[in-house]
Structure 1
Amino acid sequence: MPTILAEAARAGNWLLLAAVTAALLLFVLCAVVLVVTDLREHRLPNRWTGLLAGGGAVTLGVACLADDAGWSRLWSMVGGGAAYLALMLVLHLISRTGMGMGDVKLGGGLGIYAGWLGWDHLWGAVVLGFIAGGVVALALVLTRRATGSTHLPFGPAMVMGAALAFLL
C-alpha cells in the first residue's frame, strides 16, 4: 500500500489517496480494537469485524473508482474477501474447537483489504498470519506459558499477517 499511496500522491489522484488513507485508518482502528479484545477475552466482536469488512469494502470500493485498475481491484477485493472467509470457514468446520466464527468473519474483512492489493498479497496475508500464529504458539510452549491444549487467540496473528502483506 505504501507504493499505491506514493503513486497516487505523485499523480495528484487525490480521490484515490483519500480513499486508501481512509481505508488504512479504518483498518488500524478496527485492528487495534480486535487485537486487544481477542487477547483479553478470546473473542472478536461482530460490530468490529463487520465495520472492518463493510468499511473496507466502501472505502476501497471508492478507491476502485479512482484507480486505473479499478475493475481488476474490485473483483480481486470481492474474491479475496470471499476466499479468506471460505478458507477460515472450512478450518472452523474441520476443527470446531480451534477456529471460532470471529476468526472466520475477520478473514472476510482482511481478505477484502489484502485482495484489493491483489491475489499475491491475499495469499501472503494468509500465509504470514499462520506463520505468525505458529511462531507465537511455539514461543509460548517453549517458555512453558502454554501447552499443546491451550487455546490461543488467532485474530492477532491474522491481523499481523495482513498488515505485513500490506507492506510488501
Structure 2
Amino acid sequence: MDVVLIAVAAVYGALAGVLTRRARFRLAVEPGEGWRSTAPCGHAAGGWVGAARCGVCGERYGPGAPAPPWWPAVMTAVVCGGLAAAVGIRPELAVWLLAVPLGVVLAGVDRQVHRLPDVLTLPLAAGVALLLGAASLIPGAAGSWPHALLGGLALGGGYLVLFLLHPSGMGFGDVKLAAGLGCALGWYGWWPLLQGALAGLLLASCYGNVLRITRRVPRGASIPLGPFLIAGAWAGVLAGALRAKG
C-alpha cells in the first residue's frame, strides 16, 4: 500500500509541476506591475492552471522556456513522493499535497523577481491552518492543531522581529510565508518547527555565501529567501512525520 501511495503522490506531483508553470509566469512580475495577461508571442495568457504554452500558436513561455517543463515536474514528484513515504496514510498528507503547488509557485516567483505575492502567501497560511483543523478531527491524525496554530504564530512572529530589525535583509512577504510554514511545522511539535526553521536559514546562508565567494552577486546584496524557507519546511515536515510514525 505504501508503494502505491508513493507512486500516486509522485504522479500528482509531476502533474502539479507542469500545471503550475502558467501561474509562475503570470505572477513573476516586479512590484507595482499587474499580473501578466499576455504571452511573449502577443496572444492572451489567461487562466492560472496549466502548462505555459500558448493556446493559439503553441509557443512555450514562462520559466525555463523554450525547454520542456520536465525539471519542475521531477522536483515536485520527488517532494510529493517523499511526503507520502514519510507521512503514510494519514489525514494531514492531503493538506501537505494541496500545499505543494502553492509552494512551488511561490518558490519560482521569488527566485525570479524576489517577490512573494499576497495572493498566494495569505491563502497558504489560512488554508494550512483551517485544513489542519479539519484533519485533526479525523481518526489517525498524527499531529496537534493547537501546536500548528502556535507554530504559525511563533515562526511568523520571529520573522516579523527579524524584518523589523533588518528590513533590507528580507521582505514582508517572507514574514507572511513563515506564518503558513510555521503552521505546517508546528503540527508535529516544537522540535520539527525548530529543525525546519534552522534548515531554511542554513540553506539560504550557504547559497548566499557561495554566490558572494564566486562574485556572482555583490557583498551585501539580498537573495530570495522563499525557496529556502520552503525547502527547510519540507525537511522539517519529513522529520516530524517520520518521528510520528515511530
TM-score, with structure 2 as normaliser: 0.60
Shift of 1:157: 0.9
4+ residue segments displaced more than 4 Å: 1-4, 67-70
Deviates more, 1:54-63 or 1:77-86: 54-63
Kindly name which structure, 1 or 2, has the bigger radius of gyration based on alpha carbons: 2
Considering fraction of residues, name the structure with more helix: 1
Residue in structure 2 matched with residue 44 of structure 1 by the alignment: 116
SS of structure 2 residue aligned to 1:117 = coil
Q: Is the 8 A contact 2:86 2:238 kept in 1?
A: no
Q: Does 1:100 align with 2:171?
A: yes
**Partner Cα distance (2:139, 2:169) in 1:** 39
**Partner Cα distance (2:193, 2:127) in 1:** 18
SS of structure 1 residue aligned to 2:169 = coil
The code of the aligned residue for 1:149 comes to G
Shift of 1:50: 1.2
Shift of 1:4: 6.9
Provide the aligned C-alpha RMSD in A.
1.8
**Partner Cα distance (2:114, 2:167) in 1:** 15
Q: Is the 8 A contact 1:26 1:55 kept in 2?
A: no
Shift of 1:68: 6.3
Q: Deviations over 1:61-92 (max 9, x none)?
A: 1111124678x711110100000000000000
**Partner Cα distance (1:127, 1:67) in 2:** 31
The code of the aligned residue for 2:168 comes to T
Among 138, 143, 148, the residue aligned to 2:219: 148
Q: Does 1:116 align with 2:205?
A: no
Instruction: Evaluate the alpha carbon distance shift between residue 74 and residue 3 of structure 1 in structure 2; reply closer, same or farther with a 3 A threshold.
Output: farther
SS of structure 2 residue aligned to 1:66 = coil
The code of the aligned residue for 1:5 comes to V
Q: Count residues with an aligned counterpart.
A: 157
Q: Does 1:24 align with 2:106?
A: no
Q: Does 1:79 align with 2:150?
A: yes
Q: Deviations over 1:113-132 (max 9, x none)?
A: 00011111111111001100
**Partner Cα distance (2:147, 2:155) in 1:** 12
Q: Does 1:5 align with 2:87?
A: yes
Q: Is the 8 A contact 1:26 1:52 kept in 2?
A: no
**Partner Cα distance (2:208, 2:230) in 1:** 16
Shift of 1:40: 1.0
Q: Deviations over 1:91-146 (max 9, x none)?
A: 00001111211000000000000001111111111100110001100111122111
Q: Which has the higher contact order (CA 8 A, sep 6+)?
A: 1
Shift of 1:52: 1.1
Q: Is the 8 A contact 2:181 2:233 kept in 1?
A: yes
Q: Is the 8 A contact 1:39 1:153 kept in 2?
A: yes
Q: What residue ranges of structure 1 are gaps of 5+ in the alignment?
A: 10-16
Percent sequence identity is: 36
